[in-house]
Structure 1
Amino acid sequence: MSDAPPTQPPLAAVPLPRPRLPVRTAMLLLFAALVLGVGGRFLFDAPTLGLNVLAWCGALVLVALLLARAWRATVGLEGRVLLGSGLLLAAMFAWRDSPLLTFVNFLAVVTAFALAASHLRGEGLRGASVAQHTLSLVRGHLMGLTGPFSVAFLAPWKAMGRRSFHPSVAPLARGLVIASPILSVFALLLTSADAAFARLFGEALRFDVTALAASTFAVLSWTWLALGWLYGALIAEPWTISAGGASAPKLGLTEVAVVLGSVASLFGAFIGVQAAYFFGGTSQITALTGLTYAEYARKGFFELVTVAALVLPMLVGLAGLVRDHERRSVVFRGLCVTIAVLVGVMLLSATTRMRLYVDAYGLTLDRLLATTFMTWVALTLVLFVVTLLTDTLRRFAFLAVLLGFATTIALNAANPAALVANVNLPRALRTPSVTVNGRSFASPDLVHLTTVGADAIRALVPHLAALAPTVRAEMQGRVEAALGATRDPRAWNWSRWAAKVAFERTSRGRE
């Protein structure tokens, strides 16, 4: 009889009874997780992230696929898509270098693998609702934290006997237990008898307790995380929203039309006021608001982006609450399209405000992140309208997730650090230094370029020779500190490597 865990049922199927986990299956899971834990301890014992993220995620995927094949568990299409997306997003850590991208890529990788933990087997995610996607995401995260407890409680460890292992395992374990105190006594006597042997023996056993504790904790942490994810992906039952109980309350077209019509009227009035700003220029902004261009941009951008972000769940929620035949009505679809168009105009206004803000204060990673989020919201609104009009709204949630992954990859391709450098470098070079107590220091604008990513440093390096000697020496030190992680192959990153090469070539050229 096979020890393979039960195959996960499709998303819409009734959950199976709680399974028992065979001991050999549990032991194989533990062994695979321990290997991944040791690998995580080694790979992430590096000064920063880079190639190590891709290596560990690749190992996790390989182990999962090997276990699925050994247990004859089918990996569904959605599972393959999510695993492939997770690996592609993990590869971004080895491509670009930027605090912004580290944050965004981390969120994307965690989301991809959390969803994969819930839907590695079976089909149905493409047609799942937003609520089911949210539930699957929560389940995926919780499995990484609580999955090992399930392994401990499901496996019949008490029934584990001699037949569970090779016959030589039990005698070997008993021999080690008996030999330990005997060796301790003899070692104590021999080390007391000879000083040279005692010194050699002491050096062999010398270790740093703090370092050992930290290493053990790291191995156990990565092992725990890997075990939870493997259990959730390959063994645990899915969480589904039961369709057998009372149906969710539905709204009629009248109630929904009142809500959407009110929102559309408010947005229309706001855009009517904004029209004067679009066509009136600086004088109109100052006359109507009493604000400067920069103040006007700073005051409104984030509010408009927040409005756009809140409209999306409102439309998706109302589409789920309205009756099916009324969702296809011209009135509902027309109001949704109208609101989407009005939000699009508001996002254009937000884009204008951000452009003015950048002209006044320069570009930062935070402003670039906000602009990227605004772009994703706009594209997701377009996706909602398309799926609504084509009556494929059931696929909206899965496509929105994939759109988020695609937006993340596009952000990496856009190279945020280089964008910030291209915008801010001319400004920084106009005033490259500040004087304090008669001594010149690099200006804050110039120093900032060494903190946004290696691609910004690569753009800065050719201009170092033109700086004053003291400022150039300061900037060289900052660049060397920022690129120091390239010495560790586990943290290898193409952008850092390219910047390091450019910096070394420039330094040799000056010599």
Structure 2
Amino acid sequence: MWILALALGIVSQYLFVGNAAGISVVIFILGFYGLFFYAANGRMGGFDKWQGQSRSGWLLMVPIGLLVMTYAIFANRFFHLLNGVAIMILVAAQTILLTRSGSQPWHKAGFFPDLVHRCIVKPFTYVSVPFGIVSNLVLPSEGIRTARGTLRKVSLGLLLAAPILIVVIALLASADRIFQSWLTEIPGWFQGLSVGEGVVRVMTAGGIALYTFCYIWGLLVHKPADSTIGSSAAVNSSNSAEGNEAQQKAQMALDPISAGTLLISVNLVYILFAVIQFSYLFGAANGLLPEGAAYAEYARRGFTELVLVALINLVLLLCGLHFVRREGVWMERVRKVSLSMLVICTVIMLVSAYSRLSLYEDAYGYTQTRLLAHGFMLFLGVLLVTAFIRIWQERLSLSKAYICCAVIAYVVMNYVNLDARIASNNIARYERTGIIDIAYLGTLSADAAPALLKLQEKQPDIESLNQVVDQLKERSRSRDQWPSWNLSEQRLR
């Protein structure tokens, strides 16, 4: 089932990515039904013994077939869109009826909520099943210490690293044109295919394969997902509650060889990217830029993608601290060094993102969202430094440290007086460039008034500024009741 679902996903991305719907819909539906009938025949013993609702399900073949054929016969895009929704609903209803998976007859009102549950909610409860099948194939038996076993563990690490690297490389390529140009120059792998298109194709194939498998599995298995798939032994019923919990935690923990392979694979990409960032931070990236790219524009873009990568790395870091088995002195050193390198590369990304955002603000002005992004990056930096300490000092409670950091950071952000900083920074930018967004400053609170009044004294001829100051004063006078007393409002009055 899993192999056929993967084949369906690979074929589907070729049919749909970059192509309008046509005969591709017919081919996809035929492939889906081939997988469905194969799985149902193997799981339930064929269709000839089915009774009851299955008869109604067979009749749905007529409207489904006719609607699917419209994609190959007609070119009306409006009906193509409507038919896509109708076909999905009818196929879901038919598969539920044929497998007798629904709790309600098709003509009852309760059938539709059951259909929605089967299509949207239940497949996600079986997401672990295909990964359990894969891990059962690649993980060695307990106690085996052979080269073949090590190779399987490394293969599992590469398998786990692949989707992470796809997302990370796509974000880094979007964030940095030099990194993107280096990727596109790699011969063979990316010839005739952009990095973005490759990511879309892989995600489309994987998403269709995973959802199709989990949906059909949910129809054919009328019990909770087997949590024992991929495990080597069942839990002994005579064990104590503490023993059960420890065994479950050990089963969830990733093998150190697989974890090390994953971390090293990710770190190799990050080290390459860090080299580019050092050239950017020290001003040497101008000579490395692709033809037609301006250094100023290159430096100002990409901070959002870099912050997203930093968040992904923080999740990897926490998993590396808590969900990797501790085996042997050397493997423990590899784990700690790999996690430390991950922290260092992430800090470099945050410094780069912080610098890019500063340049962006210098070009386009300061806003509350941009200053909050600065604060969030600093907060992430503190979390990463704390995690770095936790890597080498295991007695440190990371949860306690993170909670304390979060509380302190939130209080500090309240007392840095964002509106006052926004006003003063925009005024300083105005004195350098002669450009200022007075309309935006008018949306700030009374906290910005002192800086605006100073600018008004220096530049009394700016008519729009006088209007903004008058609006702030008027707004402050309308809040002079004692329950609304506020120091900033009082100073402005």
Which TM-score applies when normalising by structure 1?
0.44
Higher relative contact order (CA 8 A, sep 6+): 1
Which TM-score applies when normalising by structure 2?
0.45
